[in-house]
Amino acid sequence: MTWLADNWRTVLDLALSHLYLAGIPLVVGLLVSLPLGWAAKRWSRSYPALITTTGLLYTIPSLALFVLMPGVLGTKILDPVNVVVAMTVYTVALLVRTVADGLRAVPDHIEQAATAMGYRGLRRLLGVELPLAVPVIAAGLRVAAVSNVSIVSVASLLGVSQLGDLLVDGYNRVIWGELVTGILACVTLALLLDLVIVTGSRVLTPWLRVQGGRA
């Protein structure tokens, strides 16, 4: 681990870029998925169409998506925006379905009770349905977080720098310390994001802990 001791500043910088490239898409993806998922639930005809489209997007391999982004966005191939947009696409592809299913799983009688008490439209969504769907949405977000962190490292092959650089450089120059550090840093980052999501979900759903946390 002498390699890490000598290079910890670089590692930290790269980890921050990595966090940015994997984390921003998580937040943006979630914000985009909420209305889309809600729409898929609200208009049940749109559900299969939305699920099929997002499923298709999710099928496209990440390296391919990274390479195609400049053609679609008109950006340069080295532009980190390509990676952020591609990762957002993946996050949305994964979360729309999760959000729709999470909202659909809210029992009918609860929705009806809320409506009967005068909850309506957006207030019912924000006050009743969304909180109850939090555990399901959080589960989807955790999967997205772990996969995002892994995928982002591939962007090093296009010259967008983050922790993946350690992997590529460590391999090219056969520096085991660097390679292993890169892997461990990625895993740590994934676990950290996971922890944040789990904690956030717990804070948002205090009632589940009272019942003995069946989430």
Position among 16, 24, 28, 51 found at the interface with another protein (CB under 8 A):
51
Q: Is 60 in the site for another protein (CB under 8 A)?
A: yes
Compare residues 114 and 154 and give the one whose CB is closer to another protein: 154
CA distance 103 to 131: 9
Compare residues 24 and 143 and give the one whose CB is closer to another protein: 143
Q: Is 192 in the site for another protein (CB under 8 A)?
A: no
Position among 44, 52, 112, 199 found at the interface with another protein (CB under 8 A):
52
Position among 12, 44, 171, 213 found at the interface with another protein (CB under 8 A):
171
Smallest distance, Å, CB 183 to another protein?
A: 4
Which residues make Cβ contacts (< 8 Å) with residue 128, sequence separation at least 6?
A: 106, 110, 111, 114, 119
Q: Is 126 in the site for another protein (CB under 8 A)?
A: no
Position among 21, 125, 149, 160 found at the interface with another protein (CB under 8 A):
149
Q: Which residues make up the interface to another protein (CB under 8 A)?
A: 48, 51-52, 55-56, 58-65, 67-68, 70-71, 77, 90, 94, 97-98, 101, 136, 139-140, 143, 146-147, 149-151, 153-154, 156-158, 163-164, 167-168, 170-171, 174, 176, 179-180, 182-183, 186-187, 190-191
